[in-house]
Structure 1
Amino acid sequence: MSNLVNFIQIDETTNTIAGNIATLTFDIDIIGEAFTSDNPKAPVFRLFAMTPRNRRIEVGGIWKKQNRQDQDYYSLSVNTGHGRINANLGRYPGQDDDTLMAVIPWD
């Protein structure tokens, strides 16, 4: 997986996330953990990254939503330090692993 960019992989056994978000100006490895809240608008995962001094900071979250056909999907919001990325998660092209999702940015 070291060659993949712009992906999120959810490990349902441990409820953790690993991933990467990259552009020409940044390349961030993301980790995440499940988040439980009574607030229906709260994310289902909190996302973290490491600072240049190797400190873990919260950078965003992943929300579980439903489309018009009542199918579940995930969206994310991440503060990259160069702005905010909002994206949906979808099937990663050319991969057979259902836990591997592509980060598909939207405005």
Structure 2
Amino acid sequence: MRVVLAGPRPVAGAARQVEPPVHCCRRHDCAPFAQRLRQLERDGLVSRTYHAEVPPRVEYEATPLAKTLTPVFSSIVQWSSEHLGEVLVARAAYDAGKSAN
């Protein structure tokens, strides 16, 4: 959602901005990402604009409904930045326990 909240994006351009980036050098590479965008479109969170040009181009953009989620995402980002160290410590402890078994 962060990617489409930033403004209209073609599928390949949006895919490169997610973490980790999705590289759409071939059509099938973007299929799962495009499928997720279609699900968001169905939920009313993303609008899809098809441009009849050669080659065809499709852009996705956040709808007003999706933009109401901005404060929620901002809170998650804030929480993540404040607690990332704790999450990393927990992951390391978990991984260390798994490797000991």
- More strand, by proportion: 1
- More helix, by proportion: 2
Higher relative contact order by CA 8 Å / sep ≥ 6: 1 or 2? Answer: 2
TM-score (norm 2): 0.29
TM-score (norm 1): 0.28
